[in-house]
Amino acid sequence: MSDGNLQHNDHPPVKEEAQLGGEAKLTPAQMKFIMQMYDHSIPPSTISDIMTKLVGKEFTAATIVNIGKKEQQAIHIAEGIKVDMGNAQKTLERLRKYVVPFSSLC
Give residue limits of the domains in the chain: 16-99
Which residues in the chain come in under a pLDDT of 50?
1, 14, 17-19
Q: What does the pLDDT read at residue 74?
A: 84
DSSP code for 28: H
Q: What does the pLDDT read at residue 2?
A: 52
Q: What does the pLDDT read at residue 94?
A: 77
d(CA 12, CA 67): 30
Q: What does the pLDDT read at residue 42?
A: 93
Instruction: Residue 75: name the closest of 88, 89, 90, 64 by CA.
Output: 90
Q: What does the pLDDT read at residue 46?
A: 94
Does the predicted model carry a pTM greater than 0.85? no
Q: What does the pLDDT read at residue 7?
A: 60
